[in-house]
């Protein structure tokens, strides 16, 4: 009998780069690795930090300027944190609410499943929805 099979190579032992080989020999304790690797991780994320710190500043200045222009009667220096705190409270509330909802959802699902228990699905892949018209 003919059986088709995808052919796969478990390509023989990969040769790690020479530098890597040498590296692990020269750094048996892993200290150098820790220093180098943490440096690289920090460089990557510090770059991101700097960009978005700058972007945020641009955005803040821009937003305040626009607001000042449109509502010159209001002082925007300090009250900026109020909407933020409100936001935090709202978020938390929504978060807790959502968790409750999950419980509720489960109840609804249970009910639905009960109703569907003997619904018309088919072992012949769920195919036939009604009895064929004889």
Partner 1 sequence: MVTSGNFWAFLSANLNHFLEYTSFGNFTIGHAVMIIVGLVLIYLAIAKEFEPMLLIPIGFGILLGNIPFWGAQNILVGDPGNMQIGINQSGSLLNYLYYGVSLGIFPPLIFLGLGAMIDFSTLISNPKLILIGAAAQLGIFGAYAAALAFGFQPGEAGAIGIIGGADGPTAIFVASKLAPGLIGAIAISAYTYMALVPVIQPPVMRLLTTNKERLIRMKPPRTVSKLEKILFPIIGMLFTCFIVPAGLPLLGMLFFGNLLKESTVTKRLADTVKGPLIDIVTILIGLTVGASMQATTFLTIATVQIFVLGAVSFLIATFGGVMFVKIMNLFLKEGNKMNPLIGNAGVSAMPDSARVSQAIGLEYDKTNHLLMHAMGPNVAGIIGSAVAAGVLLSFFF
Which stretches of the chain bind a second copy, using CB under 8 A?
1-14, 16, 91-92, 94-95, 97-99, 102, 114-120, 129-130
Report the distance separating Cα 25 and Cα 14, nearest Å: 18
Instruction: Note whether 91 and 97 are within 8 A (CB).
Output: no
CA dihedral for 7, 12, 13, 16, sign (positive or negative): negative
Give the CA dihedral 17, 23, 25, 28, nearest 10 degrees: -130
| Min CB(16)–partner 1 separation in Å | 6
**Residue 102's binding partner, choosing from a second copy, partner 1, none, with beta-carbon cut-off 5 to 8 A by kind?**
a second copy
| Min CB(134)–a second copy separation in Å | 18
Residue number, 63 or 74, with CB nearest to partner 1? 63
| Min CB(121)–partner 1 separation in Å | 5
| Min CB(110)–partner 1 separation in Å | 8
Residue number, 52 or 97, with CB nearest to a second copy? 97
Instruction: Note whether 99 and 89 are within 8 A (CB).
Output: no
């Amino acid at each position: 009998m003919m059986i088709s099979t995808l052919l796969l190579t478990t390509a023989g032992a990969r040769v790690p780069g020479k530098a890597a080989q040498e590296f692990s020999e020269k750094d048996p304790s892993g200290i150098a690795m820790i220093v180098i690797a943490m440096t690289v991780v920090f460089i990557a994320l510090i770059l991101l930090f700097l960009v978005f710190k700058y972007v945020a500043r641009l955005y803040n200045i821009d937003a305040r300027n626009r607001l000042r222009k449109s509502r010159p009667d209001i002082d925007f220096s300090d009250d900026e944190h109020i909407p933020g705190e409100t936001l935090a409270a709202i978020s938390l509330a929504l978060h807790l609410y959502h968790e409750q909802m999950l419980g509720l959802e489960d109840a609804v699902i249970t009910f639905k499943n009960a109703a569907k228990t003997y619904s018309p699905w088919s072992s012949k892949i769920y195919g036939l929805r009604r009895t064929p018209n004889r």
